[in-house]
């Protein structure tokens, strides 16, 4: 029997994470110890926005989508590097052509076959359907052809990000027959090729799944079924696991770590994630169109203190949008902005604000978010930055900043994407929704972004990301603070759970004892 | 007979009142939701928003139309019992409400029962022993009950009866139709937590009404005629406080409906309260409007029922 994987309460760095996920992998790899059967009951904080991967609009959907859908490409838990999924292999015969070879013998939950035509149908729908939220993910695709189990994507320009893009929503394959049959109702149907089949979805209540008996992956699924209970309040979700009504709760906040440790019946896992707590800047107008002011804001924050005060010191502080454990992270920039209020004052003076500056922030009204905002007010005050907040509840918060253009900065998390180029494109790209100013943040940024997708050689891509990060850091295009660790708690009967670097839990290796 | 002319007139009057109340309530809520800051279309577009998608959502949901046109469209549909579809889930709102209504009602009815079962005997005890230590203890407890935040009591109940002793579930609900025993078992702790204020209210109102009656001249006459204290209490005292008790029940039922919002959150109960909170946060107008519509009907129905019961307990009420 394996004991729950207890991770240290200190910060998670690359080495620790690799060691821990390695240990977890070993635990999960003990095939003899794995047991089959039972229903895994999970407490999920958010109701899915949709069970159609193409029309959903929330990053928290993925955890519920993963058991229902396989994606064309999968990623490695520790490095996020692409690995075969429904596409057993892929190749770029030339920089503007991507050829996918689709795994044979896979069927959708409705019994129809997964072939090249089905994949083409899915990708075309993602690119053209009026309710598709992922059109821009496939924006470089010009033409798709399919023959047998082969799918060929002709590209408008070289795009090496596509394999990892196909590990996200765009690569989750739905049955064309089911999509045709259900129309808009497909949002609530979900007919994929995943380890679990959808039984029912009671809105804001629960999503029930049962195992797919004809699943193509050997020895999977390990559970007979899964039930996601929608419990928006995290303390209530944790209580449901303590009381034995659920087996696992994810996306807990660091403040709950002590509670978990005190409850002797619970195990926990802390993993790094791509979820970057940061302040977005509207650098399309004054005062943040001034690079000196943006740099001043970055030097005015004591990230270590912020981490201790708001995340119990267990998060990874950062000056970049990728964590140190990520293959594309230019680690030399991860600690660029050290706390230096004097330097911040000097930069403000150089930027034409010798008497300090007033900054209006937009933020969430939730308690933990308000705490973060208060810490920033206090820290920035010492550098002559008079920060005040306009608060909103829930999803209207980012909308107020990005759509209505309120405020100078927005304190909100970025949940990350499997391919880092998409993260940079969405957060800093010209015209992107998440770039509130919509303009080019710095000269050369667009070219640097394109360069990150020009080659499928990882070494070349890593160098391109280093150059891109240099531009972002030198121009202080945002105020990255820390990566919120992914904290999961589970009962003693849950075995084999492994965190992943994306920070969106998968449960394919989880089994239940007893 | 229940269906005599004065009672029918009473029902008729209440039904006529229903129309302006429902229009006013839903109009005010609609207006308040419009005043809440934040762009609904951008909110609906979520993390994958683009300018194009936001514009498309605005158009498809009719959000470009003037305020009165949007409200009028909703009202017209509601009059035909079409409460529209949720902006978030695209599910018919009426279906969602019907799905959650029994869960919330079980909670409210349970809390009402607990309030009466505990509150009435305590109120009688306090009134019949007015000025004694027992009376002081009961009135102090009821003052504490009024001041007690029900979410705090809920946490204490969960920590004790669920997490420590494992007697009751800590979260969730079971539909009454599917498993009546399971539904009641799940509703015990939430109902007690919700009832704390109700018990105190019943005790205080019943005590003061009963003390007033027991110290009245006709009760003194009854004592003088040689009736036993228990006969006076049961035959005359309680009969005369019935109207007060009915008034308390009516008010309590409306208040418990509101209080269910908090308790549903603490116990993760998928009821109407949690539904309307989530909908209000994301500005899901059709759901909020649908719940308000249902709540107004419910409160009017409760008041009507109480009015009819008044006429049975005291027929003079109907004649007035």
**Residue in A closest to B40 by C-alpha:** A396
Its pTM stands at: 0.84
Please tell me which of the candidates B38, B171, B270 has its beta carbon nearest to residue A239. B171
- Asked if residue A3 has pLDDT above 60, the reply is no
pLDDT (0 to 100) of residue B148: 86
pLDDT (0 to 100) of residue A170: 96
Q: What is the mean pLDDT of residues A107-133?
A: 96
pLDDT by residue for chain B (320 residues), tens only, comes to 456 777 788 778 878 888 888 889 889 988 888 887 777 888 888 777 777 888 888 888 888 899 899 999 999 998 888 988 888 888 899 999 999 999 999 999 999 999 999 999 999 999 888 889 999 999 898 888 888 888 899 999 999 999 889 899 999 899 888 899 999 999 999 999 999 889 999 999 999 998 988 888 888 888 888 888 888 888 888 888 888 889 899 999 988 988 898 899 889 999 998 899 888 888 888 999 899 889 888 888 888 888 888 888 777 766 55
| Signed CA dihedral, A30, A32, A37, A38: sign only | negative
Size of interface A-B (CB pairs under 8 A): 130
In Å, how far is A236's CA from the nearest CA of chain B?
Answer: 6
User: B49 — contact with chain A (CB < 8 Å)?
Assistant: yes
pLDDT (0 to 100) of residue A246: 96
Confidence of residue A28 (pLDDT cuts 50, 70, 90): very low
In Å, how far is A458's CA from the nearest CA of chain B?
Answer: 27
- Tens of pLDDT along B85-98? 888 888 899 999 99
- Asked if residue A15 has pLDDT above 70, the reply is no
Nearest to B202 by CA among B260, B309, B127, B104: B127
Nearest to A252 by CA among A507, A61, A488: A488
In Å, how far is A415's CA from the nearest CA of chain B?
Answer: 9
- Asked if residue A435 has pLDDT above 80, the reply is yes
A451, two tokens? 């360069």
Residue A156 class from Cβ within 10 Å (0-12 exposed, 13-18 middle, 19+ buried)?
exposed
Note whether B26 and B75 are within 8 A (CB): yes
B62 compared with A27, residue with greater pLDDT: B62
| DSSP string computed for A14-50 | HHHHHHHHHHHHHHHH-TTT-----EEEEEESS--S-
Q: Do B39 and A403 touch (CB under 8 A)?
A: yes
| DSSP string computed for A245-308 | S-SEEEEE-GGGHHHHHHSTTEEEEEE--S-EEEEEE-TTSTTTTSHHHHHHHHHT--HHHHHH
What crossing angle do the helices spanning B285-313 and B238-266 adopt, rounded to 10°?
160
A367 compared with A444, residue with greater pLDDT: A444
Please tell me which of the candidates A243, A396, A402 has its beta carbon nearest to residue B169. A243
- Tens of pLDDT along A325-344? 899 999 999 999 999 999 99
Distance (Å, whole) CA A137 – CA B47: 13
pLDDT (0 to 100) of residue B3: 61
Distance (Å, whole) CA B110 – CA A374: 42
| Signed CA dihedral, A276, A500, A456, A146: sign only | negative
Confidence of residue A289 (pLDDT cuts 50, 70, 90): very high
A287 cis-preceded (ω within 30 degrees of 0): yes
Task: Report the C-alpha dihedral over residues A463, A464, A469, A470, rounded to 10 degrees.
Answer: 70
pLDDT (0 to 100) of residue A23: 47
Please tell me which of the candidates A204, A393, A402 has its beta carbon nearest to residue B49. A402
Q: Is A226 helix (H, G, I), strand (E, B) or coil?
A: strand
pLDDT (0 to 100) of residue A186: 96
Q: Where are the alpha helices (DSSP H) in A382-498?
A: 396-402, 420-428, 445-451, 458-474
- Tens of pLDDT along A41-69? 999 999 999 999 999 988 889 999 999 99
Note whether A241 and A266 are within 8 A (CB): yes
- Asked if residue A383 has pLDDT above 90, the reply is yes
Distance (Å, whole) CA A151 – CA B215: 92
User: A399 — contact with chain B (CB < 8 Å)?
Assistant: yes
A334, two tokens? 């991860």
CB atoms within 10 A of CB A200: 12
Using a pLDDT cut of 90, give the percent of chain A over it: 79
- Give the Å distances, CA to CA, from A196 to A208, A218, A225, B316: 9, 14, 7, 66
Q: What is the mean pLDDT of residues A475-493?
A: 95
Note whether A86 and A103 are within 8 A (CB): yes
User: B266 — contact with chain A (CB < 8 Å)?
Assistant: yes
Please tell me which of the candidates A231, A242, A415 has its beta carbon nearest to residue B163. A242
Distance (Å, whole) CA A245 – CA B114: 25
Q: Give which of B35, B41, B42 to mutate to test A binding, by max A Cβ within 10 Å.
A: B42
Distance (Å, whole) CA B226 – CA B220: 10
- Tens of pLDDT along A457-470? 999 999 999 999 99
Q: Which residues contact A164 (CB under 8 A, 6 or more apart)?
A: A73, A75, A80, A82, A417, A418, A419, A422
pLDDT (0 to 100) of residue B318: 61
User: B36 — contact with chain A (CB < 8 Å)?
Assistant: yes
Q: Interface pTM (ipTM) of the complex?
A: 0.78
Confidence of residue A32 (pLDDT cuts 50, 70, 90): low
User: A129 — contact with chain B (CB < 8 Å)?
Assistant: no
User: B94 — contact with chain A (CB < 8 Å)?
Assistant: no
Residue A45 class from Cβ within 10 Å (0-12 exposed, 13-18 middle, 19+ buried)?
middle
Q: What is the mean pLDDT of residues A494-511?
A: 94
pLDDT (0 to 100) of residue B219: 84
């Amino acid at each position: 029997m394996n004991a729950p994987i207890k991770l240290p309460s200190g910060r998670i760095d690359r080495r620790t994470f690799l060691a821990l996920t390695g240990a977890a992998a070993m635990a999960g790899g003990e095939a003899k110890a794995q047991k089959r059967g039972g229903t895994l009951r999970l407490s999920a904080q958010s109701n899915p926005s949709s069970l159609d991967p193409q029309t959903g609009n929330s990053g928290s959907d993925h955890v519920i989508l993963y058991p229902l859908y396989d994606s064309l490409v999968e990623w490695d838990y520790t490095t996020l590097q692409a690995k075969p999924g429904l596409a057993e292999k892929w190749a770029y015969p030339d920089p503007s052509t991507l050829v996918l070879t689709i795994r044979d013998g896979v069927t959708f939950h409705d019994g129809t076959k997964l072939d090249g035509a089905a994949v083409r149908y899915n990708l075309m729908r993602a690119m053209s359907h009026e309710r598709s939220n992922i059109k821009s993910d496939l924006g470089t695709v010009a033409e798709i052809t399919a023959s047998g189990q082969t799918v060929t994507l002709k590209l408008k320009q070289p795009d090496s990000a596509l394999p990892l893009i196909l590990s996200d929503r765009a690569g989750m394959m739905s049955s064309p027959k089911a999509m045709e049959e259900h129309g808009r109702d497909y949002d609530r149907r979900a007919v994929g090729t995943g380890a679990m089949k959808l039984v029912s979805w009671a809105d804001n209540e629960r999503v029930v799944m049962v195992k797919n008996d004809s699943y193509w992956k050997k020895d999977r699924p390990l559970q007979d079924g899964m039930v996601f209970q929608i419990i928006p309040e995290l303390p209530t979700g944790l209580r449901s696991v303590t009381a034995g009504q659920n087996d696992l709760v994810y996306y807990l906040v660091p403040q709950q770590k002590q509670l978990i440790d005190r409850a002797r019946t619970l195990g926990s896992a802390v993993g790094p994630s791509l979820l970057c707590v940061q302040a977005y800047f509207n650098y399309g107008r004054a005062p943040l169109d001034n690079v000196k002011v943006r740099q001043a804001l970055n030097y005015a924050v004591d990230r270590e203190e912020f981490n201790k005060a708001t995340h119990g010191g267990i998060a990874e502080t950062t000056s970049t949008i990728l964590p140190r454990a990520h293959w594309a992270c230019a680690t030399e920039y991860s600690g660029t902005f050290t706390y230096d209020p004097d330097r911040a004052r000097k930069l403000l003076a150089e930027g034409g604000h010798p008497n300090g500056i007033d900054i209006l922030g937009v933020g969430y009204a939730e308690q933990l978010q308000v705490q973060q905002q208060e810490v920033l007010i206090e820290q920035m005050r010492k550098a002559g930055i008079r920060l005040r907040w306009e608060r909103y509840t829930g999803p209207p918060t980012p909308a107020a900043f990005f759509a209505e253009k309120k405020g100078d900065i927005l304190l909100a998390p970025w949940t990350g994407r499997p391919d880092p180029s998409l993260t940079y494109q969405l957060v800093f790209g010209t015209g992107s929704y998440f770039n509130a100013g919509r303009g080019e943040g710095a000269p050369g940024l667009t070219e640097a972004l394109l360069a990150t997708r020009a080659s499928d050689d990882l070494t070349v891509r890593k160098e391109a990301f280093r150059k891109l990060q240099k531009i972002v850091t030198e121009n202080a295009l945002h105020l990255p603070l820390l990566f919120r660790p992914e904290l999961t708690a589970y009962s003693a009967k849950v075995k084999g759970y492994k965190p992943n670097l994306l920070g969106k839990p998968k449960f394919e290796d989880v089994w239940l004892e007893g | 007979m229940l269906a005599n002319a004065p009672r029918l007139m009473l029902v008729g009057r209440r039904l006529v009142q229903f129309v302006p109340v429902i229009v006013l309530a839903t109009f005010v809520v609609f207006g308040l939701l419009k005043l809440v800051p934040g762009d609904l279309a951008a909110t609906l577009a979520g993390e994958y928003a683009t300018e194009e998608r936001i514009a498309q959502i605005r158009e498809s949901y009719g959000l470009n139309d003037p305020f009165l046109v949007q409200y009028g469209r909703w009202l017209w549909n509601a009059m035909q019992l079409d409460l529209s579809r949720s902006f978030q889930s695209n599910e018919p709102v009426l279906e969602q409400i019907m799905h959650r209504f029994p869960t919330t009602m079980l909670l409210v009815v349970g809390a009402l029962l607990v309030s009466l079962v505990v509150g009435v005997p305590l109120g009688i005890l306090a009134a019949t022993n007015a000025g004694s230590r027992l009376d002081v203890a009961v009135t102090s407890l009821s003052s504490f009950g009024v001041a007690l935040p029900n979410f705090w009591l809920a946490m204490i109940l969960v920590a004790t009866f669920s997490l420590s002793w494992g007697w009751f579930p800590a979260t969730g609900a079971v539909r009454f139709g599917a498993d009546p025993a399971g539904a009641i078992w799940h509703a015990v702790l939430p109902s007690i937590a919700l009832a704390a204020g109700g018990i105190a209210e019943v005790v205080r109102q019943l005590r003061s009404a009963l003390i007033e009656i027991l110290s009245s001249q006709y009760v003194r006459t009854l004592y003088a005629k040689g009736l036993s204290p228990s006969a006076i209490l049961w035959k005359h005292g309680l009969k005369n406080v019935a109207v007060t008790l009915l008034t308390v029940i009516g008010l309590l039922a409306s208040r418990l409906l509101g209080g269910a919002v908090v308790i549903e959150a603490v116990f993760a109960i998928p009821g109407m309260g949690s539904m309307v909170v989530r909908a209000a946060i994301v500005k899901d107008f059709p759901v909020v409007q649908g719940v308000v519509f249902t709540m107004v009907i419910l409160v009017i129905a409760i008041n009507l029922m109480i009015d009819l019961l008044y006429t049975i307990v005291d027929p003079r009420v109907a004649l007035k």
